[in-house]
Amino acid sequence: MKIDGCGSHARMTRAMASRTHVQRVRILYKTILRLHRGLPAEVRPLGDGYVRDEFRRHKGCVESEAIIFLHEWTNYAITLAEQLGLRGPHTGKPLGRYLKEEDLEKLRDEQVCQLYELMIAAMGKVDGDEKKRT
């Protein structure tokens, strides 16, 4: 599935509507992993691992959680495609974005801990000390 920024959300929504739930999840998962190929080499394993863990963790979730899960990961895929500049390097943007305070307040304690651990891993720190690179 091609994601290219402008109007991509509508195209992705139409393409996904005719699929079964399992097909939609699989397409989204593979799309995200394909997009990760454009990430810097030092963060790609972290991103791939996080995506795998999250999709595995939500494999048996209830329908209401599945809807939110798919919506958020679809938005992630679209944002990442825009940031990577898949229409050419001139369209790329800086990777990542800041979370709004109201979004942080919606997170459960478990999610806040998970976000913190991800931040530590992305910064390359262990127990407050920087990893030594050899």
List pLDDT tens digits, range 15-60.
666 678 889 999 999 999 999 998 888 889 999 999 999 999 999 8
User: Does residue 121 lie within any of the structural domains?
Assistant: no
Q: Is 3 exposed, middle or buried (0-12, 13-18, 19+ CB in 10 A)?
A: buried
Q: How many structural domains are present in the chain?
A: 1
DSSP secondary structure letter of residue 129: E
Q: What is the pLDDT averaged over residues 111-133?
A: 66
Identify the pLDDT of residue 108: 83
User: Does residue 82 lie within any of the structural domains?
Assistant: yes
User: Does residue 107 lie within any of the structural domains?
Assistant: no
pLDDT tens-digit series, residues 100-115: 888 888 888 888 888 8
Res. 126 pLDDT band, cuts 50 70 90: very low
Q: Which amino acid does the sequence have at 21?
A: H
Res. 90 pLDDT band, cuts 50 70 90: low
Identify the pLDDT of residue 116: 84
Identify the pLDDT of residue 43: 86
User: Does residue 36 lie within any of the structural domains?
Assistant: yes
User: Does residue 73 lie within any of the structural domains?
Assistant: yes
